[in-house]
Amino acid sequence: MDFRSDNVAGMAPEILAAIQAANQGNASSYGADEYSAQLDAAFSKLFDTPCRVFPVATGTAANALALDALSPGHGAIYCHEQSHIAVDECNAVEFFTAGARLVPLPGGGGKIDPQALQAHLAQGWRGVQHHPQPRAISIAQATECGTVYAPAEIAALSAIARQHGLLLHMDGARFANAVAAGNHHAADLSWRAGVDVLGFGATKNGALAAEAVIFFKPELADAFIYRRKRGGHLFSKMRFLSAQLLAMLEDGLWLRLAGNANARAKQLADGLAGQGLRLAYPVEANEVFVYLPDRQVQGLKAHGALFHPWDEAAGLYRFVCGFDKSDADVAALLRAASDA
Amino acid sequence: MDFRSDNVAGMAPEILAAIQAANQGNASSYGADEYSAQLDAAFSKLFDTPCRVFPVATGTAANALALDALSPGHGAIYCHEQSHIAVDECNAVEFFTAGARLVPLPGGGGKIDPQALQAHLAQGWRGVQHHPQPRAISIAQATECGTVYAPAEIAALSAIARQHGLLLHMDGARFANAVAAGNHHAADLSWRAGVDVLGFGATKNGALAAEAVIFFKPELADAFIYRRKRGGHLFSKMRFLSAQLLAMLEDGLWLRLAGNANARAKQLADGLAGQGLRLAYPVEANEVFVYLPDRQVQGLKAHGALFHPWDEAAGLYRFVCGFDKSDADVAALLRAASDA
Amino acid sequence: MDFRSDNVAGMAPEILAAIQAANQGNASSYGADEYSAQLDAAFSKLFDTPCRVFPVATGTAANALALDALSPGHGAIYCHEQSHIAVDECNAVEFFTAGARLVPLPGGGGKIDPQALQAHLAQGWRGVQHHPQPRAISIAQATECGTVYAPAEIAALSAIARQHGLLLHMDGARFANAVAAGNHHAADLSWRAGVDVLGFGATKNGALAAEAVIFFKPELADAFIYRRKRGGHLFSKMRFLSAQLLAMLEDGLWLRLAGNANARAKQLADGLAGQGLRLAYPVEANEVFVYLPDRQVQGLKAHGALFHPWDEAAGLYRFVCGFDKSDADVAALLRAASDA
Amino acid sequence: MDFRSDNVAGMAPEILAAIQAANQGNASSYGADEYSAQLDAAFSKLFDTPCRVFPVATGTAANALALDALSPGHGAIYCHEQSHIAVDECNAVEFFTAGARLVPLPGGGGKIDPQALQAHLAQGWRGVQHHPQPRAISIAQATECGTVYAPAEIAALSAIARQHGLLLHMDGARFANAVAAGNHHAADLSWRAGVDVLGFGATKNGALAAEAVIFFKPELADAFIYRRKRGGHLFSKMRFLSAQLLAMLEDGLWLRLAGNANARAKQLADGLAGQGLRLAYPVEANEVFVYLPDRQVQGLKAHGALFHPWDEAAGLYRFVCGFDKSDADVAALLRAASDA
């Protein structure tokens, strides 16, 4: 009953099989292999637009390197105050950009409030040498709160971005869950709504370790290979990263895995709500945020349930369903919650 | 007939099996898993001294993060002029340290000449605000030229290091080959000879992607976890890195794999020398550097042989044997060389 | 009628005289001159404690270099949300520290609210690899709002600092105004209340360009000379910086100049209040923040008055009195305000 | 008898007068003053081409900020192995660029050997992700050895720069001495020969502290104001820097001062040669490098002469004439040398 995060899961069998299949003979190193060669085409097809794709192995690397491509050290990057880049990445963006400022903004359900963003931009930092220069907006899809930006919500932010000459980055560590959540095409949740660079996450969705940094504006990627290398993120045996990504795209595996995770989260949320518990956010992807009385927290722990304290003072807890959670896993947790 | 590098090889079967075995159920993420928990003990036993061990996935990350622990941005790091950190890592050390200077030094066979080092240190930069401050020496074991530092050679450099208050780093991307090469204990080729931090490479030796940064002076590691994270090098599914490292140590797999690579390189070197070709360096690990006439280069290529131009103007070429090379592979190359 | 900032003023005559006096013959460069040699003793006497003193030329350099001595790139530095380092220095602290995070905190009158600080520290970032590590608190004396931290207010923050293993930095761009404001000894407003490093500003107080970074914990200064140099902040003709600082200390010039500025600000504040205008903050140093109706703003401008829009949406304006403002200057402004 | 450096001198009287004159009333801060407003026009006239001009206060800042405008952190900058940026600036360029590599090249008399540069560029780093990317060449005018690049020598390097897509930076800490040395127009020694950015030094030539970073390609300067600010190099009372620079240009003061320094160095060199001593480099600007027997070194010191040991092992010493050296100063030194 481990619901702490989707990263407590291992690999999906198809990913392991792909790694095994890629382990044949010799291959050119550092991305010159036949798997890596297919990435641009595969993702361009998926997104229905030409894009340049670069594998890295961690979400933090994907975020920091993508934002490094968008902002110099004297830049400002607008993000949600609860975003992973602001809270959970130990200054990685600041490090990779040599000092860019993350400007934390409020907003319900983990989504940047466009008015808060407008208000900040209205301060008139642009062109004033004393202030970091507005360069990028970074949003997460799905968000840290397990909600999903609708295309129109992204478009509202990208309209502000265009108006102020900013670029739009999407942290898609759970992009699969966002796409699987609804009826939107991957393109509608990304570049068609104005996203310039996307970190397409596979690790949380059943890969060993694989993320794709996808540039929808190819020219933004011109220095990426050098900056990836100097960050220590160029893999010699790149075929093993690329094979994971290709396997994800094959026959829609990424959506099947994420779809299962989402469905389990929905089950869990419904069950908890049915027990009279209050959810903090709509459950649109694979995360459930629920208020639990202390007694129940202790009871769940006593039953061996693992979950993440999100805001203990407020009694708010997070349960995440990985690709591998089953009906039985959810049922077991709901029983434990009911007993607790 | 791919002898370009040891990184054209895939994984050893035992490594794949270890990854597969680690893919059971859920596990705590970010290094709190049961595999990662065994690393300190396993390597402390191997090296016969307490050490702190941190997995990362690439050799460049291992080097840059280790040196980041040894030098501030105003530091100077002494290395061989052909070293990987100076030539092949796109300023990763400078990036991670926020500006430390790599001071390239000459020396035969890829080994730093102690006199050249002494001469540089005698310039009197220590304590003078205009100059970067001497902080560390970085050597590679085996070297970029496929030679192996003997314990006394390391000790000669570490004596200089102690005399001048420097720390000693070893880039052990091919440490396994160095240990397998001779009759020296791993400790004799590292901390007993004065090494403070070692990057223990597994990737080139048959792992998917795994390197261990090993601190023999534990206090040097105090900030490592934060600096690894901000570099994007903390893996959520760390168990898969740690499992590779543990598998390497199990029953001496690392030395069997490296020993085979070394033996094949010796065969190859002997065969080429037997054909009257001149070797540039003694073949002590798994790399062969040989001078080839142009005609033979073309002939080898025509036979489908792949190898690395080391110094084309000088007619010098590199052949590397991975863990997976067989007698037949070497024989085929020697035939091609003979025919060419 | 230029009240935009204290930095619109030139030099005090005594400072010019000191520069002129220092312009005799040859002198050792880079701080080995006889003026620079006196700094440690002069400031140690002023502060009644041994301290190490390093001249730089700008307030931003003083802040960034001081904080660079307190925090690594994976650190977090707590500051007021309106602080100069957070708002007006174009990511200088992030740049010098290679990525440290400025954590903006609320608080009335430009002073950090200790409870807000405690609340942030209670989040438990210490020791957790995902989060920047708490390292320092930075406060301004006088604050950006023209208020002055009382010794007990500083001590409240430094107690939190000690409790959490943080160091305390004071941006003293207007430290002279803070000391001149009250009956407190310079030591009481700095190290005796727990300040570890102080940027002692002279530029705004009538110097050409001179700030002293003062370390009350000498060991914190060990790498300062190298980091100042690599920042381009080591002056070859250092005597001219040091002479300005010494002149400031001579016969209490710094307090006379700041005292005049404070007195003029008090006059101005009283006058404006007497005209029925509302002040935003208590006027404790040399800055006056006043709410002005639009009509009056236009009228003042028409009379040639210059002042700084602090928060135009709120109708809040800032008037700063430099060391050189006279009774007549203030009277003229008050007349203009009255006429407007 | 202080010949250690030109920076042991103070200010020329005209510079002091200019600072004094600028000390009138209030002025807009941070470069919006009337002095700073004249810089672009004044230097554009001097150089006979439109240029953008930014004052900073130190030579290291001028170099590091200029090169920061030319190279990203994954760049390589080619310079002479004895250059100030490589030897004497404590990793400032690496710091400001977030890691760019300085590639030290040999060459007689402090000038980069074009063949050595070509040989390095021929290694084929361009476009290869493992290597820092060639971005700029930096030369000093006059050089560290007191020689002056002729226009054709600069053009030879700039032709290589153009061929390889590099930009050309000139460290002009002693540019005045270079121009005063010969019959070449300032433009011929800079942009007409292919220089893209020049650090125009005034400090060594009799200013208190003032250097102008001059962009001959205006678009290269677009981010300069932000990067200067984040480096702490934006002066609030900028008028005092700009006034120094304008005073230098007025009636050719810069060339009169440098011309005197050069003439004194020539006298000194002729005198020393006349005493049978051997000069290491042609004396083309204001520096004399001479081999001295130990006995004479001791004798000169006993007579109170101050000079700089350049390469003590080789018996090589440097004597620099500042703007303020007189015939009598030189005569006194020559007498001491003769007596010693």
Please name the helix (run of DSSP H) or strand (run of DSSP E) that holds residue C134, with its range, or none.
Answer: strand C133-140
A128 touches chain D (CB under 8 A): no
Residue D221: predicted pLDDT: 98
Cα–Cα distance measured from residue A302 to residue A299, given in angstroms and rounded to the nearest whole number: 5
Compute the distance between CA of residue C135 and CA of residue D177 in angstroms, rounded to an integer: 48
How confident is the prediction for chain C on average, in pLDDT?
Answer: 97
Domains of chain C: 12-252 (3.40.640.10), 254-339 (3.90.1150.10)
pLDDT digits (tens, 9 = 90+) for C208-228: 999 999 999 999 999 999 999
B71 to chain C, any CB pair closer than 8 A? The answer is no
Q: Does D234 touch chain C (CB under 8 A)?
A: yes
pLDDT confidence tier of residue B77, bands split at 50, 70 and 90? very high
CA pair distance D15, D256, nearest whole angstrom:
13
Q: Do C129 and A100 touch (CB under 8 A)?
A: no
Question: CA–CA separation, D157 vs C89, rounded Å?
Answer: 38
Q: Which of residues 171-200 of C touch B (CB under 8 A)?
A: none
pLDDT at res. B255: 98
Q: Cβ C98–A99 below 8 Å, yes or no?
A: yes
pLDDT digits 0-9 by tens, B116-146: 999 999 998 999 999 999 999 999 999 999 9
Token pair in block for residue D288: 């004399």
Q: Is the pLDDT of residue B190 over 90?
A: yes
- Relative orientation angle of helices D253-274 and D327-339, to the nearest 10 degrees: 20
How far is the alpha carbon of A99 from chain C, nearest alpha carbon, in Å?
5
Q: Do you know the residue count of chain B?
A: 340
| CA-derived radius of gyration, chain B | 20
Counting runs of H as helices and runs of E as strands, what totals does chain A give? 13, 11
What are the backbone angles phi and psi of residue B111, rounded to the nearest 5°? Answer: -100, 135
Q: By three-state DSSP, how is residue A105 classified?
A: strand
Output the CA torsion A140→A144→A148→A151 (10° steps).
Answer: -20
pLDDT at B182: 84
Chain C residue numbers touching B72 (CB-CB < 8 A): 223, 226
Q: pLDDT digit string (tens) for B263-314? A: 999 999 999 999 999 999 999 999 999 999 999 999 999 999 999 999 999 9
pLDDT in tens, C168-177: 999 999 999 9
Mean pLDDT of D284-301: 97
D28 CB within 8 Å of a chain C CB: yes
Q: Is there a contact between D74 and A228 if contact means CB atoms under 8 Å apart?
A: no
Using DSSP, state whether A198 is helix, strand or coil. Answer: strand
Q: How confident is the model at residue B340 (pLDDT cuts 50, 70, 90)?
A: confident
Q: What's the pLDDT band for D114 if we cut at 50, 70, 90?
A: very high
- Residues 6 or more apart from B87 whose CB is under 8 A from it? B144, D130, D131
Phi and psi, residue A320, nearest 5°: -115, 135
- The H or E element that residue C333 is part of is helix C327-339
Chain B residues with CB under 8 Å of C132 CB are 226
The verdict on a CB contact (< 8 Å) between A72 and D223 is: yes
Of residues B34, B140, B39, the one with CA closest to residue B86: B140
Residues near A254 by beta carbon (within 8 Å), at least 6 away in sequence:
A176, A202, A205, A248
At D203-256, the pLDDT tens digits run: 999 999 999 999 999 999 999 999 999 999 999 999 999 999 999 999 999 999
pLDDT for B53 = 98
Supply φ then ψ for residue B17, to 5 degrees: -60, -40
Output b/e per residue, A300-325; b: 16+ Cβ within 10 A. Answer: beeeebbbeebeeeebbbbbbbbbbb
In sequence order, the 6+-apart residues with CB closer than 8 A to the CB of D259 are D180
pLDDT over 70, % of chain C: 100
Query: Within A211-252, where are the H helices?
Result: 224-230, 239-249
pLDDT at C109 over 90: yes
Nearest CB to D232; choose among C5, C9, C92: C92
Of D244, D299, D264, D283, which is closest to residue D142 (Cα–Cα)? Answer: D283
With tokens 């021929």, the residue in question is D122
Kindly list the strands in the beta sheet with D316-320, ordered across the sheet, starting from the edge strand earlier in the chain.
D278-279, D287-291, D316-320, D308-311
C303 close to C339: Cβ distance less than 8 angstroms: yes
Chain-wide mean pLDDT for chain D? 97
Instruction: Residue count of chain A, please give it.
Output: 340
Cβ <8 Å between D227 and A74 = yes
Quick check: C15 contacting A, CB < 8 Å?
Answer: no
Each residue's pLDDT tens digit, C19-32: 999 999 999 999 99
Residue among D7, D203, D236 whose CB faces C203 most closely: D236
**Residues of chain D contacting C199 with CB distance shorter than 8 Å:** none
pLDDT band at D340 (very low <50, low <70, confident <90, very high): confident
Residue C32 Cα, gap to closest chain A Cα (Å)? 33
D223 touches chain A (CB under 8 A): yes
CB–CB of A73 and D228 under 8 A? no
Structural tokens at position D177: 């001495």
DSSP-assigned letters across all residues of D99-137: SPEEEEE--GGGPPPHHHHHHHHTT--TT-TTSPEEEEE
pLDDT greater than 80 at residue D319: yes
Type of residue found at A93: V
Scanning B134-252, the segments in alpha helix (DSSP H) are 151-163, 175-181, 224-230, 239-249
Report phi then psi at C220, rounded to 5. Answer: -70, -15
According to the 3-state scheme, what is the secondary structure of B117-145?
Answer: HHHHHCCCCCCCCCCCEEEEEEEECCCCC
Task: Report the Cα C102 to chain-centroid distance in Å.
Answer: 17
CA distance D37 to chain B (A): 33
**Digit-coded pLDDT (tens) for C277-294:** 999 999 999 999 999 999
Between CA A19 and CA A2 the distance in angstroms is: 26
| Mutation target vs D (from A226, A227, A236; most D CBs, 10 A cutoff) | A226
- Look-up of token digits 């608080």: C107
Residue-level pLDDT at B183: 77
Q: Is B309 on the interface with C (CB under 8 A)?
A: no
| CB count in 10 Å sphere of residue B121 | 20
What is the structure's pLDDT at C340?
A: 82
Packing angle, helices B13-22 and B239-249, rounded to 10? 140
Token pair, residue A255, equals 């959506």
Q: Are A75 and A221 in contact (CB under 8 A)?
A: no
CA atoms of A72 and D71, how far apart (whole Å): 12
Look at residues C18, C47, C66 and name the one whose alpha carbon lies nearest to residue C243: C18
B10 touches chain A (CB under 8 A): yes
B229 part of contact set with chain C, CB < 8 Å: yes
Q: What is the ipTM of this complex?
A: 0.97
**CA atoms of C134 and C101, how far apart (whole Å):** 9
Please report residues of B whose CB lies closer than 8 A to that of A28: 4, 8
Residue D40 tokens read as 């672009």
Is residue D183 scored above 90 in pLDDT? no
* Residue C76 DSSP SS3: strand
Q: Which of A100, A75, A99, A52 is nearest to A196 (CA)?
A: A52
For residue C183, the model assigns a pLDDT of: 77
Q: State both tokens at A71.
A: 């902002």
Residues of chain A with pLDDT under 70: none
